[in-house]
Structure 1
Amino acid sequence: MTHLQAGLCPETIEKARLELNENLDTLHQDIQQVRDMVITRPDIGFLRTDDAFILRFLRARKCNQMETFKLLAQYFQYRQQNLDMFKSFKADDPGIKRALMDGFPGVLENLDQYGRKILILFASNWDQSRNYFVDILRAILLSLEVLIEDPELQINGFTLIIDWSNFSFKQASKLTPTILKLAIEGLQDSFPARFGGIHFVNQPWYIHALYTIIKPFLKDKTRKRIFLHGNNLNSLHQLIFPECLPSEFGGTLPPYDMGTWARTLLGPDYNDETEYTHTYNALHVKQVLGNSARDCSPKHMKRSQSVVEPGTLKHKERDDENTQPLLALD
């Protein structure tokens, strides 16, 4: 079973042992016991049950076999219940492609200080149609499907930053309970990703109001990992070091190139002016993810559409209201 830990650095293997209860001696048995539970849910079509696939679910649930099977079942059940979302689940689907080219999600090439992949969303870029919000969700789920193939990310997980600058009240009013529930079920309840933190930046007051809508659907663990920073960069940088962030978030990296992740999924010949119809190449994606070098040449640079310019966010010594996790709003 050592092949299931192939490619992992010793530090990550040790982290999996300590934090996720991953035991190489019992890993085969753990996987098989989860697989044996499949027959208990004949109503669900389990389209994939190989070792590597089940392992990512085990890691997402700290090798608890029963919780792992629940997540595995929810993963396929969510797809059965939302067939339209997954009918054309590929990067060249027009809706997904539009979302990717608009930067949904943004995926930084570097990791944070804990080895987590950093995803960013600039909320002001969302339009007000329900279909586009669903396409954004589809693009995020597709991106996570690609990223979760990396065993390091299965263990280290992800962190998400949402910049709410210029997100209008009218836009917020379109985020109905039905749409929010769809997103929460897809990301929190049905996907084997470990999110170490969800960070809100420049959130207006009505985002607090939205919390009262989504709170019943959030697990306590999720609520504790959501933080509102307002315009307080100090609190953000205490949790994600500046050297891991682009300048939009007060980091030391160049401004985020909105085409970075879209090019990764659509292929090496992607550009902002040309339409493409091919899906992502898995080998190409693997090569790009493994390359830490950033190409900031003008022909590849498309600035993020965030209205936040370097220095706009304020450094504050203390802002008790904005640095509290959303759970503190109880």
Structure 2
Amino acid sequence: VSPASLSPLIDVRSMTHLHAGLSSETTEKARLELNENPDTLHQDIQQVRDMIVTRPDIGFLRTDDDFILRFLRARKFDQTETFRLLAQYFQFRQQNLDMFQSFKVDDPGIKRALMDGFPGVLETPDQHGRKILILFASNWDQSRNSFTDILRAILLSLEVLIENPELQINGFILIIDWSNFSFKQASKLTPNILKLAIEGLQDSFPARFGGIHFVNQPWYIHAMYTIIKPFLKDKTRKRIFLHGNNLNSLHQLIQPECLPSEFGGTLPPYDMGIWARTLLGPDYNDETEYTLTYDALHIKFVILCEKSHKFMKKKTGILKLKS
């Protein structure tokens, strides 16, 4: 059996693996909304991978099919935009090494932020299958949590969640409740800090955010929004909704059946520790990729590549013998 005759078999198996766990509805949604075509999936992934040589200044520490696919989905299979996002993902980590040196759930700063509900993650998705993240801004105790640790906890949570291919396609909703968020707390949200958050979430992460909802925001949060507006893409600006005290306008976009009682929903009050317990529970394995530091991820990925290469050589040899 020649390598050429084996490639369709390998492609079909890989393609099945890439779509494993997806419902038929989500597969169709990916086709209609994201331009995802199972017949050209590997070609799309490889074309993005081929662009890596154009950026020798960036260490692309992970380039496997599963990883690149989430970036394609985040940019609706526009390969140029996909590669730009992939490059920005690793560039952001290289430029902010201190944020990712201990990027794992048991890092003291990340652990404190998670235990304080940064972020909260609802078990029930919205009516479009989007995962709902919530932040109660007034819970930010600046003597306990730095803003950087909160951002790290949010990014780590997204790394865990984005492993789910359904969420790569359906995306996320973010609700920020500004109730009792003081002017003193707001004064700590400097332009540099806010710019860092925008770079980390909007420009450098492969997640589809279907909406960012502000509720109960005071006037000084409106002022803050005015400051950050120039850093936001048009698409992001169109997805930010300032509801104030009007929960009816929130319910027009997210059904009450998907929301806890704090947001006028029919679900019980949100348990602030539920997501932290999910990550810190007895079944949590801190050896998975998203818990590793930048350097450790590189080492682990090199080992995985070597193992994968040996496995494929062995597998190909078996197939040749059988033929």
Same fold (TM over 0.5): yes
- Partner Cα separation in structure 2 for residue 206 and residue 64 of structure 1: 38
The aligned counterpart of 2:183 is 169
Rounded to whole Å, the distance in 2 between the matches of 1:111 and 1:63 is: 24
Letter of the 2:22 partner, please give it. L
Describe the SS at the equivalent of 1:22. Answer: coil
Shift of 1:132: 1.0
What amino acid maps onto 1:112 in structure 2? D
1:2 pairs with 2:16: yes
SS state at 1:206 partner = helix
**Cross-structure match for 1:267:** 281
Structure with the largest fraction of helix? 2
Q: Secondary structure at the match of 2:122?
A: strand
User: After superposition, what is the alpha-carbon deviation per residue over 1:237-264, rounded to whole angstroms, capped at 9, x for unaligned?
Assistant: 1111001011111111111011100011
Is the 2:260–2:269 contact (alpha carbons within 8 Å) kept by the matching residues of 1? yes
Q: Which residue of 2 aligns with 1:192?
A: 206
Q: Which residue of 1 aligns with 2:261?
A: 247
SS in 1 for 2:266: coil
Residues 15, 77 of structure 1: CA spacing in aligned structure 2 closer, same or farther, 3 A cutoff? Answer: same
Whole-Å separation in 1 of the counterparts to 2:115 and 2:233: 31
The question of 1:140 aligning with 2:149 is answered no
Does 1:223 find its partner at 2:237? yes
Cα shift readout 1:195-251 (whole Å, capped 9, x = no counterpart): 000000100001110012101110000000000111111101111100101111111
Tell me, in whole angstroms, the C-alpha distance in 1 between the residues paired with 2:261 and 2:145: 31
Give the Cα separation in 2 of the matches to 1:162 and 1:129. 21
**Residue in 2 that maps onto 1:33:** 47
1:279 Cα deviation after fit: 5.6
Alignment partners' CA distance in 1, 2:57 and 2:216? 44
User: Which residues in structure 2 correspond to 1:1-330 (within 5 Å)?
Assistant: 1-128=15-142, 132-268=146-282, 280=286
Residues of 1 paired with 2:49 and 2:209: CA distance? 25
Instruction: Give the unaligned 5+ runs of structure 1.
Output: 270-277, 283-330
Q: Alignment RMSD, CA only? A: 1.4
User: Shift of residue 268 of structure 1?
Assistant: 3.7
Partner amino acid, structure 2, of 1:218: L
Q: Is the 8 A contact 2:112 2:144 kept in 1?
A: no
Q: Residue deviations 1:41-84, cap 9 Å, x none?
A: 00000000000000000000000000000000000000000000
Which segments of structure 1 move beyond 3 Å, counting only runs of 4 or more?
128-131, 278-282
Q: CA deviation at 1:23?
A: 0.4
Give 1:2 shift: 2.4
8 Å Cα contact 1:91-1:279 kept in structure 2: no
Give secondary structure in 2 for the equivalent of 1:264: helix
Residue 306 of structure 2: aligned partner: none
Q: In the TM superposition, what whole-angstrom CA distance separates every residue of 1:72-125 from its partner, at most 9, and x where no partner exists? A: 000000000000000000000000000000000000011000000000000001
Residues 151-196 of structure 1, C-alpha deviations (whole Å, 9 max, x = no match): 0000000000000000011111110010000000000000000000
Amino acid at match of 2:47: Q
Contact residue 266 and residue 280 of structure 1 kept, 8 A: no
Corresponding residue SS for 2:56: coil
Structure-2-length-normalised TM-score = 0.83
Once residues 67 and 26 of structure 2 are traced to their aligned partners in structure 1, the CA distance between those partners, rounded to angstroms, is: 19
* Percentage of pairs with the same residue: 89
Q: Work out the CA distance in 1 between the residues paired with 2:84 and 2:154.
A: 22
Structure 2 unaligned blocks of 5 or more: 1-14, 289-323
| Largest Rg, 1 or 2 | 2
| Cα distance between partner residues in 2 of 1:139 and 1:264 | 13
Q: How many residues are treated as equivalent by the alignment?
A: 274
Query: What is the alpha-carbon distance in structure 2 between the residues aligned to residue 155 and residue 281 of structure 1?
Result: 26
Which moves more between the two structures, 124-133 or 68-77? 124-133
Name the SS for the 1:172 alignment partner.
helix
Alignment partner, residue 288 of structure 1: none
- Quickly say closer, same or farther: Cα 1:79–1:281, change in 2 above 3 A: closer
CA shift at 1:281, angstroms? Answer: 7.4
Aligned to 2:298: none
